[in-house]
Structure 1
Amino acid sequence: MHWRSVPRRCRLRNAPRRPKQPRRVGRNPKRALTKYAQFVKANLPKYSQLPNRERLAAVAKLWKQQQQQQQQQQRQRQQPQKKRV
């Protein structure tokens, strides 16, 4: 008999109950934090006066600004320097 052919109440009553696995609290200790996660963790206290959503938005904006600055610096390094003669 297919399980869908049985009424739902019967299925739930007759289903074997197994104890739920306890949830893992925290993150996997083997996995390192990403650069962004480290940045957020370090910069959240700067915006403690803001509500949570605005605080996260401010940290994300700061991250984007820093990434753009780093990209511009890398581009400038990659461009060959023109020598004036």
Structure 2
Amino acid sequence: MNQSQFDQLVERICSVQVTDSETPLVDLGVDSLHTIALVMAVEEEFGIEVDPDALADPALASPAGLFRYVQAWAADAAPARV
């Protein structure tokens, strides 16, 4: 999945339009219920558990920040290559 596809996931789950991936979710009009739905969708889509406190970090509170969080988790969870 790339950033554009992730933005589409945010748009579908949160009923907003992402014009800039770095725009904070709250500035896109995402309310707390949509945030919970988004976290649940991300957890299901990627098989991860998102720390709810992580979204309080301004660096993660945008579609791009959340996508970076998912990518970092995936990189850490990837098996070591021999």
Q: Tell me, yes or no, whether TM beats 0.5.
A: no
Q: So what's the TM-score if we normalise by structure 2? A: 0.38
Higher relative contact order (CA 8 A, sep 6+): 2
Greater gyration radius: 1
Q: So what's the TM-score if we normalise by structure 1? A: 0.37
